[in-house]
């Protein structure tokens, strides 16, 4: 996963798709998020559980433990190691969902620049990416060390041609189970290892190279190239 995504729908759109009946604690705002070109370190809307409530906070994309100050904060965690490696040990119990509309990857196709591709659900529904992080909970205020990482797995099928890694996306039912504090850690690990959504749930197409500049924002960034004849 290259490290660029879109989160442009509003919090309530994502909550409706999650179908969680619990009351929402919302610190992410009620307006559309309108983030079409989010890069690492962006404050993104992150869902997690706060007691019996679903909570949404704006949390920085990227995290590192306090003892790794000499390292750039990773934005992703490999599903094969995340549950047992020392780097993410402190946040593995703190599960979250980053709901996105799509993500981007860049592919070398022989031209002077890599070609960006947009990847989204075929039905254009929200993508619920499994994440872990350090985030506000209870009466604790947001802290300078807060952040989250997206769990990634090997790509499969035709998506391998786009990138060798992809986020672990969960169905709404599994996303609710992932967020539930009562879900055992062992079950959570099996979910992200074995039950991520299949490649067939997604489509991808070329978009304009303007998405390569993070200062560019706007709905035009998610439109297929005009010369594109079809979507995979």
Q: Quote the tokens at residue 101.
A: 């509309």
Q: CB under 8 Å to 96, separation ≥6 — which residues?
A: 46, 47, 48, 131, 132, 133, 135, 148, 179
> pLDDT at position 141, please?
84
Active site residues: 2, 105
Q: Quote the tokens at residue 150.
A: 């997206």
Task: Identify the sign of the CA torsion 39, 41, 45, 46.
Answer: positive
53-67, 104-118, 188-202: which range is least confident on average? 104-118
pTM over 0.85? The answer is yes
> pLDDT at position 230, please?
44
**Position 131 pLDDT exceeds 50:** yes
Tens of pLDDT, residue by residue over 139-194, are: 888 888 999 999 999 988 878 778 889 999 999 999 999 999 999 999 999 999 99
Give the domain ranges of the chain.
Answer: 5-222
Identify the band that residue 227 occupies on the pLDDT scale cut at 50, 70 and 90: low
Identify the band that residue 229 occupies on the pLDDT scale cut at 50, 70 and 90: very low
The CATH code of domain 5-222 reads 3.90.1680.10
> pLDDT at position 47, please?
98
């Amino acid at each position: 996963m290259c490290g660029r995504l879109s989160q442009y729908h509003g919090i309530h759109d994502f909550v409706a798709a999650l179908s969680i009946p619990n009351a929402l604690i919302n610190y992410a705002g009620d307006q559309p998020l309108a983030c079409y070109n989010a890069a690492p370190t962006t404050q993104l809307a992150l869902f997690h559980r706060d007691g019996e409530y679903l909570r949404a906070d704006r949390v920085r994309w990227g995290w590192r433990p306090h003892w790794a100050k000499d390292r750039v904060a990773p934005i992703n965690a490999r599903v094969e190691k995340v549950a047992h490696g020392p780097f993410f040990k402190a946040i593995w119990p703190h599960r979250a969902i980053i709901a996105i509309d799509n993500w981007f990857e860049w592919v070398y196709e022989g031209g002077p620049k890599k070609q960006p591709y947009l990847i989204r659900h075929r039905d254009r529904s929200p993508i619920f990416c499994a994440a872990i992080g350090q985030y506000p909970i209870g009466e604790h205020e947001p802290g300078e060390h807060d952040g989250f990482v997206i769990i990634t797995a090997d790509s499969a099928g035709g998506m391998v041609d786009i990138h060798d890694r992809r986020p672990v996306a969960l169905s709404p039912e599994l996303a609710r189970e992932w967020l539930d504090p009562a879900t055992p850690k062992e079950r959570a690990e099996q979910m992200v290892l074995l039950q991520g959504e299949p490649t067939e749930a997604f489509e991808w197409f070329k978009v304009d190279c303007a998405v390569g500049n993070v200062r560019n924002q706007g709905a035009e960034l998610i439109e297929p190239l005009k010369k594109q004849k079809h979507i995979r």
